């Protein structure tokens, strides 16, 4: 039996306004519901096998949305999470997004074969800034097509800190039109991370057509709350355990 996600449970019908208040309230109701919207993340280049295994154990213990790792650790994470119901997430074209579409597709196919079920691909910012909208959408759609064949989901990282207001609007629309499941703010490896303003802007573009993931610099419960209230339906964080445990402390 497939268990519906929190987003599926509280989201509005297609083309109706997104109810950020209702989603935020549901996510913050308890530790388990909050964990269910957080991608427990470890993308440091120096991350060791023992750290990846710890991440996976925590993902299973707390019920995080996924364990997000670098490509080299997907097989390890998949083995560690077998039977837990927690999917493995992986980054594609990370952190620059400037590779060939064929390279991204090949990487996505390899990661899916190793057990990944959530693909966070980086937008080709150079194509966006060059006005190559058709090529950019095709780049995204190439990974989406690969993912669909395996029943996986795709999140596209816009790297909002590098974009103008107009570029954020356009990138959000192009990614959504390409069929992604989420648009995402940041890699956490550039000049800035998620902001409530960017999350609100992105949600305003996509409405209920896809999710919005806030990531990059999210380390506290207050920041998570602000992102959810702005319209995020998924959070990416490495401080996930501290965040969900802070919810227990705040309710006492």
Q: What is the pLDDT of residues 135-146, one digit of tens each?
A: 999 999 999 999
Contacts (Cβ under 8 Å, ≥6 apart) of 67: 39, 40, 42, 55, 56, 59, 77, 81, 86, 87, 88, 89
What gap in Å lies between CA 252 and CA 247, rounded to an integer? 9
Asked whether 83 and 120 are in contact (CB, 8 A), the reply is no
Please say if the pLDDT value at position 30 is more than 90. yes
Domains and CATH numbers, the chain: 17-245 (3.20.20.70)
What gap in Å lies between CA 2 and CA 247, rounded to an integer? 27
Phi, psi torsion values for 174, nearest 5 degrees: -65, -45
Active-site positions read 120, 184, 213
- Helices of type H across 38-151: 49-62, 74-81, 101-113, 125-129, 133-149
- In percent, the amount of the chain with pLDDT more than 90 equals 91
Q: What is the average pLDDT across 79-85?
A: 98
Please say if the pLDDT value at position 3 is more than 90. no
Residue 139 token pair: 């780049």
pLDDT in tens, 88-138: 999 999 999 999 999 999 999 999 999 999 999 999 999 999 999 999 999
31's enclosing H/E stretch is helix 31-35
User: CA triplet 191, 44, 55: central angle to 5 degrees?
Assistant: 130
pLDDT in tens, 176-185: 999 999 999 9
User: CA triplet 77, 82, 86: central angle to 5 degrees?
Assistant: 75
């Amino acid at each position: 039996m497939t268990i519906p996600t929190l987003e599926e449970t509280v989201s509005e019908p297609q083309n109706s306004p997104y109810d950020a208040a209702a989603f935020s309230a549901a996510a913050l109701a308890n530790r388990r519901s909050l964990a269910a919207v957080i991608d427990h993340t470890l993308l440091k280049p120096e991350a060791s096998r023992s750290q990846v295994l710890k991440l996976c154990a925590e993902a299973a213990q707390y019920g995080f949305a996924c364990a997000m790792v670098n490509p080299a650790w997907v097989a390890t994470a998949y083995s560690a999470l077998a039977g837990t119901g927690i999917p493995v997430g992986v980054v594609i074209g990370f952190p620059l997004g400037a590779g060939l579409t064929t390279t991204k597709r090949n990487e996505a196919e390899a990661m899916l074969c190793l057990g990944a079920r959530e693909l966070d691909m980086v937008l080709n910012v150079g194509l966006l800034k060059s006005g190559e909208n058709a090529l950019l959408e095709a780049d995204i759609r190439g990974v989406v097509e690969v993912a669909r064949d395996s029943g996986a989901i795709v999140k596209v990282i816009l790297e909002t800190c590098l974009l103008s207001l107009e570029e954020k609007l356009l990138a959000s629309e192009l990614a959504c039109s390409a069929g992604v499941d989420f648009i995402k703010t940041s890699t956490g490896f550039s000049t800035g991370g998620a902001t409530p303003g960017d999350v609100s802007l992105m949600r305003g573009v996509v409405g209920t057509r896809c999710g919005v993931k806030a990531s990059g610099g999210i380390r506290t419960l207050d920041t998570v709350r602000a992102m959810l209230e702005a319209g995020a339906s998924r959070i990416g964080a490495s401080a996930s355990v501290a965040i969900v445990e802070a919810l227990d402390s705040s309710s006492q």
